[in-house]
Each structure stands twice: as structure tokens, then as C-alpha cells.
Amino acid sequence: LDLVRGKEMNFIGDSVARNHMESLLCLLSMEETPKDIYKDAEDRNRIWYFRDHDFTLSTSWTKFLVAGFERTRANKTGTGIYDIDVDKIDEQWAKDLPNTDIAIVSAGHWFFRPIYIHRGDETIGCIFCNLPNMTQISLKEGFKLVFSAAFKHINGCHNCKDNLVTVLRTYSPSHFENGTWNTGGACGRSIPLSVNEINQKSSDMELRTSQIEQLEEIKRVSFKKRKFAVLDVTRVMLMRPDGHPNSYWGNKWMKGFNDCTHWCLPGPIDAWSEVLMALLRQLL
């Protein structure tokens, strides 16, 4: 709290970004009780204020970092098929960025579905579509396009603070076994894995590498005072299949599904903020 006095920290990303913010909120609340100053109608965007330290902690919800929408049927129900535009940043976090001193950027879990990727009026290709006459884009390449667009926007933001600090939090692995989230997959393990038991060449690690490459590229070309850093959690979280809520997440809307994507509080996700604090000591 002393380190971030007078600053605003914003977690930009999906519900795992929100999970990280809530972990940090719980840790900081042991020192000072924050005031809950904003919640949107869907309880996705939140703002908390620590008055004694003049510190603001917030979330800017975004599925893909860039603009995206779900295709709907005639009866207005969702199809599970998305369109995203890598030339256009998601409005929510773009609107919040100018007030931000420390941006924690993450995304990834919404990409595991059919997504048509556009650059303005041009359709570049599609993830998970398998259509004739349509360029197939890998998840890794999709991540590259999206994170490159996000970091370019941050680096080129004219009305943002000159000393804005951006931290990429790398991809956080899920641990579904015997199925996916919607086919009965679960995560009932009760002890961590050792480093020898994880696959260090897994798709999770590939996605992490793709994210880091885009951050390194923007650091290479940036002439501004803005700082970019990596909070690398992927490999260490691969070792924690025991850290998810599984069937104990208390969700009223999706009974029968297990949660092997988000992390229990308290739990291994709390370590992310320990590493984040070490990073911020170097950056601020």
C-alpha cells in the first residue's frame, strides 16, 4: 500500500483477472478496509478505494482485449461464435486507461471457441472453424494478433500518463481432467504436481510464450518513458491442479459444471501478488 500510494491500479482482462484483483483486495484488506465505490449492473467492473493510502484498485472487464461480439440467432440467443477486430480496442478498458498508473493486462480463456478475426473490413481467418476457403488461425497466432494490438494501443495512447506501467500477467492454465468444462471435466486433485510432472512444452506454455514475445516487441520499439514487464505465472500454476474450486464454487446459474479455471481464495493465486509487488519495487 505504501508502494502504490496515490496511484490507480487496473486489472484489464476476463474473470481470471477479476480473480487476481480479488485476491489482492483480500490481502490488502488485512491492512486497510477499502471502500466499495463502484459496481456495474453485471458486477464485472469494480472500483475499490483505500482512503488512507489514496490508492484505487479496479477491474476493466474484457473478453478479448480487442473489440468483439457474439453472433446471435434470430431469437436473440447466442451461437457461441464470435467476431473480433484486431484494429479496434475494446471500449471499456480503452476508456479507463488514461486514469491508470499500473495496468495489469491478461486474457486468454475466451479464445477456446470459433472466432472470426478481422482487421477492419478484412477477414484474416478463423480460430476453430475448419471451413473451406477460410484461413485457419492457430490459438498462438490469435494471441499474437490480440496482444500485439493491446500493447501497441497502450504504447501509443496520447492521453495516458507518461509513466504508465504495464504488466503482462501470462496465461493461467486450467486443469480439467476427463472432459472439458462442459463435458463433465473436473479437477479433484488434492496435492500439487512437482516440476517433473508438468509438460513444459504444453499448449499453455506456447500461449505464454506468444504473449511474452508481443510484450518484448513493444519494449524494443518503444521510445517512451512507459515501462512494460512480465508477471510470469504459467509454469508455476501448471503445478497447482489442486488449487481450483472444482465443484465447490457455489454457482447458482451453472449447476453440474466444475470450475477448474479460477483459483480458490485463499490459494495459490495469492502468490501472484507477492511476485507483482517484487516487480513493482523495480518499476515504480
Residues designated as active site: 15, 259, 262
Asked if 123 contacts 113 with a C-beta cutoff of 8 angstroms, the reply is no
Distance CA 154, CA 158 (A): 9
Nearest to 264 by CA among 30, 19, 46: 19
Residue with cell 470450475: 259
46-50 and 55-61 as β-strands: parallel, antiparallel, unpaired? antiparallel
Q: How many residues does the chain have?
A: 284
Residue with cell 515504480: 284
Phi, psi for 215 (deg, rounded to 5):
-65, -45
Assigned C-alpha cell, 101: 498508473
102-105 and 78-89 as β-strands: parallel, antiparallel, unpaired? unpaired
Distance CA 193, CA 54 (A): 40
Asked if 258 contacts 186 with a C-beta cutoff of 8 angstroms, the reply is yes
Strands (E), the chain: 8-13, 35-39, 46-50, 55-61, 66-72, 78-89, 102-105, 115-119, 122-127, 165-169, 227-231
Distance CA 25, CA 22 (A): 5
**271 conformational bin, left if phi > 0, alpha if psi -120 to 50, beta if neither:** alpha
